[in-house]
Amino acid sequence: MITIINGGTQGLGAAVARRLVATGFTDGLLLVGRSADRGNQLAEELTAAGVDTAFLQADLADAEAPTAIVAAAMDRFGRVDGLVNVSAVTSRATLFEDTPEHVDSQMAVNVKAPYFLIQAAAREMIAQGTPGSIVNVGSTSGHGGQSKLTAYCMSKAALTVMTKNLAYGLMRHGIRVNQVNPGWMETESEHRTQMEQDGAPENWLELAAPGRPLGRLVQPEEVANAIVYCLSPDAGLMTGNCLDIDQSVQGAGDPPLPTASDTVSP
């Protein structure tokens, strides 16, 4: 399996890449991201571990990026069998703070880019005449989400519909499409977001973890396990599924009342 991982240079994307190499489910990887330093370093690490890995620097906000990414994989490996869409924008804005430009930026990276990456990859998979597997990374926020993340939550809800729609449409071609929805996850980018956008203290994680039902945040490695399972032959016929990797049960229990910080005002 030749696999493209967009957003594959850090956090969850890097964890997926390492897990794929460890399980032997891939023969080649194309890592896509904005940081050349991180991308090239990880590509060298995984190549040394026995899987031919290349890095492509790309910005998913660029409308031409999906076509260029799949073309790069074809040039390097001659085929595409798997695609993992990890990259996302998670900037804050409530209903009354939001702007058309901000909503467009969320949709461009979180919805439009995965959609056209799937389009380009599926074309090659169908031309090859072999089965393919695609995994989108959504979010439990796509079920409703937080008031300060309205556009982001909208984008992840759209991704869920996309996953189910394309799973049905591509089924006859032997291409499976699934989605994994992480909850609040401990990553480098989350640390930066907490510090820079939410004004959280340096030790925010120590303060946040005890308030979670299981006493910690979701870890990238456990989400990566689910993603690699969905991507791999082990998942069998599974397609159109959206898995929540979180410490909550949708529709069960009494939901908490909104706090003052959850309420938006014009």
Q: Summarize pLDDT for 118-151 with one digit per residue, the tens.
A: 999 999 999 999 999 999 999 999 999 999 999 9
Letter string b/e over residues 229-264, b meaning 16 or more CB atoms within 10 A of that residue's CB: bbbbeebeeebbebbbbbeeeeeeeeeeeeeeeeee
Q: Per-residue pLDDT for 199 more than 90?
A: no
Q: If pLDDT is split at 50, 70 and 90, which confidence band does 186 have?
A: confident
Residue 264: is its pLDDT beyond 90? no
Q: How is the chain split into domains, by residue range?
A: 2-183+220-244, 188-217
- Model confidence at 241: pLDDT above 90: yes
- Give the pLDDT of residue 191: 77
| Annotation: CATH topology of 2-183+220-244 | Rossmann fold (3.40.50)
CA 179 – CA 134 distance, rounded (Å): 8
Contacts of 226 (CB under 8 A, 6+ apart): 180, 243, 245
pLDDT category of residue 234 using cuts at 50, 70 and 90: very high
Spatial CA neighbour of 233 closest among 59, 40, 70, 20: 20
Residue 260 clears pLDDT 80, i.e. is over it: no
Pairwise pLDDT comparison (234 vs 207), residue with the higher score:
234
Q: Which of 114-123, 146-155, 253-262 has the lowest mean pLDDT?
A: 253-262
User: What residues contact 35, with CB distance under 8 A and at least 6 apart?
Assistant: 9, 10, 57
Read off the pTM. Answer: 0.94
